[in-house]
Amino acid sequence: MARERAALSHPGARYVVQPAARVGGELTVPGDKSISHRALMLGGIAAGQTGITGFLPSEDCHATLAALRAMGVAIEQHSATQLTVHGAGARGLAAPGQVLDMGNSGTALRLFMGLLAAQPFDSTLIGDASLMRRPMERVALPLRAMGAAIETAQGTPPVQIGGGRKLTAIDYVLPVPSAQVKSAILLAGLAAEGVTCVTEPAPTRDHTERMLTGFGVQLQRQGATVGIAGGQRLTATRVEVPADISSAAFFLVAGALAAHEGLTLRNVGVNPTRTGILDILGLMGADIRMENRRESGGEPSADLIVRASQLRGIRIPGELVPLAIDEFPVLFIAAAAADGVTELTGAEELRVKETDRLAVMAEGLGRLGVRHELHADGIRIEGGRISGGTIDSHGDHRIAMAFAVASLRASGPLEILDVANVATSFPGFVPLARSAGLAISQD
């Protein structure tokens, strides 16, 4: 009866996953979400036609696409993954005449804050119930220092941006590592007077810097600081989006647990600011190899081959935390299946994602009998037996997919509730997971 009541609270949105012993084969996961967002945005303000292949046709990326169309950017969609963006130029965006709904995408909302800060029209950014609870002041503060008129609702969306403001450059030291904050400042810096500089306390994703360079923008780099001179114009280019390593992460862990004959993931993006998942799994003893390395538009990719290994618990190095911040839900599953104890600290950022991922993952691990200690900035997980049970993902796509991977070591079936948001980042997850060997169904 308790399970029935739980299921009714999330009607039509659950996974049922039976225990499975093996995964394998060859897979291509969807395109990189971070790169897809940025390709649309920069293509939208560039001069000329930008061709995008490998685009991620997820709800998050479609929110960015819809917002640009609402501001007058013509976008042709030749197929689900191939687009042409007819750039409007730096000053060619038009007043949208409606609020811009970012759905579940914190990346889209925060980057648009920077992109729209210097536009001549007012704009309002909103999102779904989850996004409307997420913090936006850490982006708004540096943008206000540049002269932007930005208001939030006690720190959260809706975000209202006043048009017609003149921006001036700032030197900003990020209080905590954040690629989204860095990117928003750099995008605002394109329209600011002077050279805007951002200094990071630790390396974060550099997709924005790489893509700006691909669109012809000159950046200044010195150590942990990147600078951008205002007034530069973007020139259209071609963008080939590699497979998303954050999506590949679920199958990397699945392979490390159960790919006894190997599992190959094709053309995965291996940008060094995103490969913390590979480094952490390597320290845990995972057998992962890279083959067929190549590069397109400044973004490296490779085929990844993973084989089943006996994982061991580790203390995760602090320098790797910002390089694997989105992959920790499934890394916690790896820790639960490893020999010994895994400890994570310095990961406060996980508390302000789509959910409080530390708390929600701890809740789910507890329901599966995994011993753990939750801390303010991390977690301690004791590897061992994983039981079956019912998990509430609280609408967080990465948590839903992570617990699906736990079925490879679970002693009984898993019921994972509130999974509709998986489509925000990984359309087609269920059929792809089944093709690899997971016994998963959705109803």
Token pair 């499975």 is found at 20
| Candidate list 32, 303, 326, 396, residue with the active-site label | 326
Residue 273, helix vs strand vs coil: coil
> Alpha-carbon distance 366 to 386, whole Å?
10
Residue 205 Cα distances to 52, 78, 164, 182, 200, angstroms: 20, 29, 30, 9, 11
Residue 261's CB is within 10 A of a number of other CB atoms, namely 10
> CB within 8 A of 434, min separation 6: which ones?
440
- 326 catalytic, yes or no? yes
* DSSP string over 23-85: --EEE-PPBPHHHHHHHHHHHHHSBSEEEEES---SHHHHHHHHHHHHTT-EEEEEETTEEEE
> Alpha-carbon distance 265 to 435, whole Å?
13
Q: At what angle do helices 357-367 and 397-405 cross, to 10 degrees?
A: 30
* DSSP string over 308-366: ----B--B--GGGSTTSGGGHHHHHHHHHHSBSEEEE-S-GGGGGSSS-HHHHHHHHHH
Entry field: residues in the chain: 443
DSSP 8-state code for residue 407: G
The percent helix, strand, coil of the chain (3-state, each to 5) is 35, 30, 35
> Alpha-carbon distance 132 to 103, whole Å?
9
The residues that are catalytic are 326
